[in-house]
Amino acid sequence: MIRHLAFLHQHVRELFLKNCSPDIADPNLRRLARALASLPDRQHEVFRLARYEGLRRDAIASRLGISEDAANEELVLALQMIGRSVRRQKRKGW
């Protein structure tokens, strides 16, 4: 599952960098888009900075005015929430 999420993250990152909208017809991308949209603001921002902009935890912490531990914690929580959301959507057939 983690390998699959990593693949989806990379795909979304590439689309983001190309300034394209993802092909929402793909059910996996649709699930990931829903999961990302459901994240709390801080987790979403930390995830975006880490995965889309490729920033390290120290740079994220500096940019957001939080500690590196807080940046790491927010990223871990975001990844856990995304994983749970994607699995739940898949079980429900979404």
Distance of CA 53 to CAs 10, 14, 27, 48, 85, Å?
11, 11, 24, 7, 23
Q: Residue 18 corresponds to which tokens in the numbers above? A: 């190309």
> Is the Cβ–Cβ distance between 42 and 74 less than 8 Å?
yes
Domains of the chain in sequence order: 2-91 (1.10.10.10)
Q: Distance (Å, rounded) from C-alpha 25 to C-alpha 48?
A: 22
Of the two residues 15 and 58, the one the predictor is more confident about is 58
Residue 88's identity, in one-letter code, is R
The mean pLDDT value of the chain amounts to: 85
pLDDT over 70, % of the chain: 74
pLDDT digits (tens, 9 = 90+) for 1-47: 556 666 666 666 555 544 445 556 788 888 888 999 999 999 999 99
- Residues 50-64 have a mean pLDDT of 96
